[in-house]
Structure 1
Amino acid sequence: MEENVDHRVPVLIVGGSLVGLSTSVFLGRHGVRHLLVEKHSGTSMHPRGRGNNVRTMELFRGAEVEEDIRQAASVLAANHGILQAGSLTGDDQEWLFKEIDPGGGLARFSPTTWCLCSQNDLEPVLLSRATAQGGDIRFSTELLSFEQDPAGVMAVLKNRDTGEHSTVRADYLVAADGPRSPVREQLRIGQTGNGDLFHNVSIAFRSQQLMDVVGDRRFIVCYLTNPEADGALLPVDNQELWVFHAPWHPDQGEALEDFTDERCAEHIRKAAGAPDLDIEITGKAPWHAAERVAGSYSSGRVFLAGDSAHEMSPTGAFGSNTGIQDAHNLAWKLALVLNGSAGPGLLETYDAERRPVARATSERASSRSAEHSHPGYAPAVTPGGGRRGGILSVAMGYGYLHGAVLGVDPDRPVVPERMELKGAPGTRAPHMWVGGPTGRMSTLDLYERSFVLLSAAGTAWRAAARRVAERLSAPLDAYAIGAGPDADLVPEGDGDWAAMHGTTPEGALLVRPDGFVAWRSPGAVQDPEATLHAAMSTLLSRA
């Protein structure tokens, strides 16, 4: 088998949409050589999946691609809020919320914020960064089959342009191949959840007059509730390019072919309340909202990420964000196992951490669709047992109860009712502005390629961390925080780093490469080096 291999690579990524390309970017940041194959000929042409939440933007910030994304998204930078209306011209209008971050309160939690960047604009940015980092990205290339053994995965690929077949030997395979994932099917991994929720047809169209009808209402989306022509209107450029999501009922015998250009145009006019609106249909794409989570995120050396692992209702844009965060969680773990810093047991924590988050998030997405009366969705009861946690808690307040974390409160919910980021193990580490070697920075900017130990200047923790890093040959950086000459980081203003991180000036906080707290010591210990060595060994599956 090995004699006939055309390519050898540590990681093979199947699927080149948002999650696959994000996986490539994150692996590239860790220097992991990889091959990505995508059966389509290029990135997405349809404007969809636009909502990138604050946690996702933190990850893109760490990957130094945030500014490029915001530049690609600049046309929608002033759009905020969700409007619900009987039409665009009537009096029946209500803002479900008008600002994503009213009062600017999000600045307490993060150095960045949300970003509206449609998939067709975001994917080229990720592709450019992935290739610049050395990623081998091949479009029009399809995975035909794969087999795995204890040492790796053998895959057969097909170039859809030439028909040529080739074989790839990889240490690991990441399947980001969508909700109908052939990889998941071959692995016979089942799914749980409420299944199909509703169906829509996404209609891209051009209209120069609609801008005048919309006026100064710069919404993210407007739910139009005319019972004879409901749907969701989304601006693409706030001028002449728009998308309309129209309900589709295949269970009632309605075929996709029934959505002719004429029917779609009349539906949009009636929904908008503008019977003479100029409309040119430029594209149509069906999509299906569902609530499903895979029964396992891995099998042997194959891992699921994104829609192959979970499907969610689009309300709140949780699906793509959860998938990108899957990719980030998996990438640093693959990097540490491949370079020998961690044992293979670290990869088992991917399922333990990410699957409970997907279950909780998918339930919240379905509930949010019910709350917003998403066109085409009329549940008999609110799914998921009702509301748990606001959108910010779901987006960035979630926690890991099991996995590569130590000392987690077992009674803590995966998604809390209230957003609290106070340094508890299993939660995203707090954001705090500090003065560092390169000037003003957020503590979140420290976390990406290594574990990081934070402690007060003058304690023994920093020296202990350096010795542990040498003993384990593991990526572990240490920073002393304070105001004296021995400090690496100086808190801005009167910031109390220890109180903010839930410890004391004699304690320490160990943060993972993804910014989640791995372990915390509330105070001084008798032997910092031995204590930290034991924690790191366990976290890296080397104990």
Structure 2
Amino acid sequence: MMYDVHEPRVLIVGGGLVGLTAALFLRYHGVPSLLVERRATTSPQPKARRINIRTMELFDQIGIGETVLDAARDLSAHQAMAAGPTLARATRLPFTLPGGMPDWAAITPSTACLCAQDLLEPTLRTLATERGCDIRFGVECTEFTQDTTGVTATLRSADGDPRRMRVSYLIAADGAASPIRERLGITRSGRGTLGRAVNVYFHAELSNLVRGREFNLCQIENDRAPGAFMSVDGARRWIFSTSHDIDRPVRDWPRALRIAIGEPDVDLEVVSVLPWEPGMFVADRYRDGRIFLAGDAAHVMPPYAAAGANTGIHDVHNLAWKLAAVLRGAAGPGLLDTYHTERHPVGWFTADQSSVRTADLRTLAHRSTDGTPLADPIAMILGQRYPSGAFIDDDSPHTLTHLDLTGQPGTRVPHLPLPDGRSTLDLPGPGFALLTGPQADHWQLSKRLPDALRETGCAATPPDASSTERRADHRIPPRPRTYVHTLDEKWCVAAGITRSGALLLRPDQIVAWRTPTAPADPATALDSALDRILAEPQKR
């Protein structure tokens, strides 16, 4: 065996949506990583398709949102739900939310989309490679050990000798069965298995049949072949999902599909038949020393609006800036404990909410299977609040019965369009940002303030990269030069501060600290807040 000469700081095991986005987020923060995936290529199955608003906000932050939207163009008109006795006779359902339809432009600058996983994964892989990420498919992590200073992993390719490498940390994004989680002995809790189902992926030219009634999901309401159709490209690629007669032989599925379609002579080809079991299984620990679980390795949940995939992407967005800060020496190692503290409650709540949503598209957002109160769907995506973690709580109220983002620490910063066309969401990252009210002279005049913020910011390229490499790496957004942003009174009202107050934003757009009015010594107060947030001892 041999050691790599140029060793990355983080090893990512798993090349699905979560692993690939982990590599991209780490690259954004200047952390070199290596991703290994035992499969030879990305997933051939459409699987998850919904890319929610919060995920698109994160993609926009690192500059890949437009590329993802371009990959999703085939389904751009297929956002509706439909239902009927057959696909041919189905009609669109009115789209309603418990609290009514929001003003989307007022709550987010980003746009959700539908993009089949077998299109999104190659897109992310290409983006990661273009940005300098080390992505290796056909390579398996066969062994790993950890100690107080790092992780030693053994990697094996199909046609090569085992190779041992040393990294600082490991991210396990290796799926629901997660060999890494099992090896660590991390148990899981939750509602368990919730039934059985099957997804039939097939090809059939149905664009003429659905024209004018384009849909994301179409519920089939008959006794012979009940289930739901999912659009993969809106024309020829489709998935039929059902929990009815799931053990029928593969040869019998074309007949069942034609009954559900309502066209007995339609020409179709069954590509695959995949039985699966919806369920809720959440890891009891997201961290074991220097190893972190993310995505399905950390939480398995029913496929309500692709909540599992999106939540996994949010996991690694939370983790990436923390790893970067610790690796740069800008934060204490205790900051990494907040990954579990913050993400485990969100993973549990999202998995539980997904588990009690009915399968009936007519009541999906309005009724639970067992009487569990349902969170507002938009609040579930954008409005969750961490109960504790890398922020300073101010005991302000918060609810998930509607979208409640008013600057509470532990929540995503409220979106407010800025005069230059940006959003308040664009101000943090890769470092921290301080947003102040218009009476901000005392903040701006503090010479120590920019230094305090700069210490916590993360370079866009690795700290040891040469100046030539930094100049050549034009695809990575540059480190921001402005750390303090003065906003107007409208912002103050939205953020719960006075004209002299301020919000400190983490690199992941989460409010870390709120001071409704200016402290007597702003620089000292900010330094103290940063020390607490970044798990560092008081140094000043």
TM over 0.5: yes
Q: Does 1:533 align with 2:520?
A: no
Identity of aligned residues (%): 39
1:282-331 superposed Cα distances (whole Å, 9 cap, x missing partner): 23333332111100101000000000000111022211100000010000
Where does residue 474 of structure 2 map in the other structure? Answer: none
Matched residues in 2 for 1:147 and 1:215: separation?
Answer: 55
CA distance in 1, matches of 2:137, 2:194: 31
In structure 1, the partner of 2:310 is 321
Number of the residue aligned with 1:264:
253
Contact 1:179 1:311 in 2 (8 A): yes
- Counterpart of 2:117? 119
Does residue 1:450 correspond to 2:411, yes or no? Answer: no
- Describe the superposition over 1:347-387 as per-residue Cα deviations: whole angstroms up to 9, x where unpaired: 00000000000111111111224454899xxx9x825x523
Q: Distance in 1 between matches of 2:314 and 2:304?
A: 18
Contiguous gaps of at least 5 residues in structure 2 = 459-481
Q: Does 1:67 align with 2:66?
A: yes
5+ long unaligned stretches in structure 1? 483-490
Name the amino acid aligned to 1:224.
I
Change (3 A) 1:304 1:471: closer
Instruction: Kindly report which structure 2 residues correspond to 1:89-104, keeping only aligned pairs within 5 A, or say none.
Output: 89-90=88-89, 95=93, 97=95
Are 1:503 and 2:497 an aligned pair?
yes
Q: 1:101 to 1:69 in 2, by over 3 A?
A: farther
Q: 2:282 maps to what in 1?
A: 293
- Structure with greater strand percent: 1
Contact 1:147/1:153, CA 8 A, preserved across alignment:
yes
**Residue of structure 2 equivalent to 1:229:** 225
CA distance 1:239–1:310, change in 2 (3 Å): same
After TM superposition, the structure 1 = structure 2 runs for residues 463-502 of structure 1, keeping only pairs within 5 Å, are 463-464=445-446, 466-467=448-449, 469-470=451-452, 473-475=455-457, 478-482=483-487, 496-502=490-496
**2:369 partner letter:** T
2:213 alignment counterpart: 217
Partner Cα distance (1:241, 1:469) in 2:
54
Offset from partner CA, 1:119-163 (integer Å, 9 cap, x none): 111111211121122111100111111110011111111102x04
Are 1:48 and 2:47 matched, yes or no? Answer: yes
Q: Deviations over 1:57-112 (max 9, x none)?
A: 00000010000001111011111122232222447x56162799986611111001
Partner Cα distance (2:101, 2:242) in 1: 34
Number of paired residues? 510
Q: TM-score, normalised by structure 1?
A: 0.88
Kept in 1, the 8 Å contact 2:398–2:404? The answer is: no
Root mean square deviation, CA, Å: 2.5
Give the secondary-structure state (helix, strand or coil) at the position aligned to 1:174.
strand
What is the aligned counterpart of 1:409 among 395, 400, 410?
395
| Alpha carbons 2:334, 2:535 under 8 Å: kept | yes
Deviations 1:508-530 (A, max 9, x none): 11011010100100112111111
Structure 2 SS opposite 1:228: coil
Counterparts of 1:26 and 1:66, CA distance in 2: 13
Q: Secondary structure at the match of 2:103?
A: helix
Cα distance, 1:443 vs structure 2: 1.1
Give TM-score scaled by structure 2 length. 0.89
Question: For 1:9-158, what aligned pairs fall within 5 Å after superposition?
Answer: 9-90=8-89, 95=93, 97=95, 105-158=103-156
Query: Please, which moves more after superposition, 450-459 or 36-45?
Result: 450-459
Q: Which residue of 2 aligns with 1:395?
A: 381
- Of 337-346 and 363-372, the range deviating more from structure 2: 363-372
CA separation of 1:399/1:115 partners in 2, compared to 1, >3 Å: closer, same or farther?
A: same
Aligned mates of 1:248, 1:183 — CA distance in 2: 34
Higher relative CO (Cα under 8 Å, sequence separation at least 6) belongs to 2
**Matches of 1:450 and 1:69, distance apart in 2:** 24
List, as ranges, runs of 4+ consecutive aligned residues in structure 1 with deviation greater than 4 Å.
Answer: 98-104, 410-413
